[in-house]
Copies of this chain bind each other. A is one copy, B any other.
């Protein structure tokens, strides 16, 4: 398995390495037809394939970008990654996807690993736990785009959705269907979008003059959700509607309801913040707050490649907010009388 190099090709074709290099880079404007043919033949005969590692070393670019997602188990993450990959593909770039599991230590490790591998830029779902590192990249003008979470301490282009407004709209929808006992369940309020979603929930209740009850707001680890839900539904004034703060919370909710023989929407209405692949054909169909993940990923890739290729200055605003769509389906459509 000894690799054949450019030098081998050059020797076989009876020309110099530089000529072969020219040929490979399609810079054969003034190259003798006969020379080209010799090289072509030698490449074919030896089965030569260029070594991108060597090229990258010389050119100081790898044509690769890194993606560090918060949690690969969220379909939101995979959908965004897919969009980024598609965009990269169209621009002769490649993407390496890493999973930080919402852990700042892993995040740091991956940022360092990817930069050591000389990726040309980074798309990051920031945990928020590596401020100095973010700042360092900012001041080095290393190409970076943040997705899903705003980090106010740094000035880095960021793609987010209108978490607060979208949740507000969903809660308003439930209220208009007659619900007043509306609970919300999210993972711990450690990151920006979860806080914003919770704020949207509170704002809606406020605006509709419905008192906020602490016991209706659950923010806890996925593993503890089922037990918290038991507590919630043991209350004398149990909720008639439930907002799941993301897809993983929603799965826990569904497991809980199933186990306890609670029917949707008859016993409780459900709305979930996230795209659920089977929402449109589950029984019942599920009302979702759909994030435009594909468009967001595409935009992130676009912004990153812009930085990589044109070294552009940051515009005045570096926050790109995408609107969500409330997809009203059966799980929340039954009016409460």
Query: Among B1, B3, B117, B278, which residue has its beta carbon within 8 angstroms of that of A52?
Result: B117
Is A148 positioned at the interface, with any CB of B under 8 Å from its CB?
no
Query: Among B51, B82, B140, B278, which residue has its beta carbon within 8 angstroms of that of A118?
Result: B51
The interface residues of chain B lying within 8 Å CB-to-CB of A53 are 53, 56-57, 62, 117-118
Contact in complex: B78, A142 (CB < 8 Å): no
A65-102 with Cβ < 8 A to chain B: 72, 78, 82, 85, 94, 96-99
- Other 16 A-B pairs with CB < 8 A, given A49-B112, A278-B282: A1-B141, A47-B136, A51-B57, A51-B116, A52-B118, A53-B53, A53-B117, A72-B78, A94-B96, A94-B98, A97-B97, A251-B277, A251-B281, A258-B281, A258-B285, A278-B278
The interface residues of chain B lying within 8 Å CB-to-CB of A60 are 3
Is A50 positioned at the interface, with any CB of B under 8 Å from its CB?
yes
In whole angstroms, how far apart are the Cα atoms of A64 and B117 in the complex? Answer: 10
Contact in complex: B116, A50 (CB < 8 Å): yes
The interface residues of chain B lying within 8 Å CB-to-CB of A251 are 277-278, 281
Size category of the binding interface on chain A: 35 or more
Among A54, A113, A136, A278, max chain B CB count under 10 A is at A278
A249-294 with Cβ < 8 A to chain B: 251, 254-255, 258, 277-278, 280-285
The interface residues of chain B lying within 8 Å CB-to-CB of A97 are 97
Contact in complex: B112, A85 (CB < 8 Å): no
Minimum CB–CB distance from A212 to chain B (whole Å) comes to 29
In whole angstroms, how far apart are the Cα atoms of A280 and B256 in the complex? Answer: 11
In whole angstroms, how far apart are the Cα atoms of A3 and B115 in the complex? Answer: 11
The interface residues of chain B lying within 8 Å CB-to-CB of A64 are 117
Minimum CB–CB distance from A68 to chain B (whole Å) comes to 12
Q: Give the 6 A-B CB pairs with smallest separation, nearest first.
A: A283-B283, A254-B281, A52-B116, A258-B281, A255-B281, A1-B140
Among A62, A282, A283, max chain B CB count under 10 A is at A283
In whole angstroms, how far apart are the Cα atoms of A142 and B99 in the complex? Answer: 28
Query: Among B1, B96, B98, B254, which residue has its beta carbon within 8 angstroms of that of A278?
Result: B254
Contact in complex: A116, B282 (CB < 8 Å): no
The interface residues of chain B lying within 8 Å CB-to-CB of A280 are 255
In whole angstroms, how far apart are the Cα atoms of A98 and B97 in the complex? Answer: 10
In whole angstroms, how far apart are the Cα atoms of A97 and B115 in the complex? Answer: 18
In whole angstroms, how far apart are the Cα atoms of A62 and B113 in the complex? Answer: 12
The interface residues of chain B lying within 8 Å CB-to-CB of A117 are 52-53, 64
A278's closest neighbor in chain B, by CB?
A: B278
Given the interface contacts A1-B141, A52-B118, does A283 sit within 8 Å of B282 by beta carbon? yes
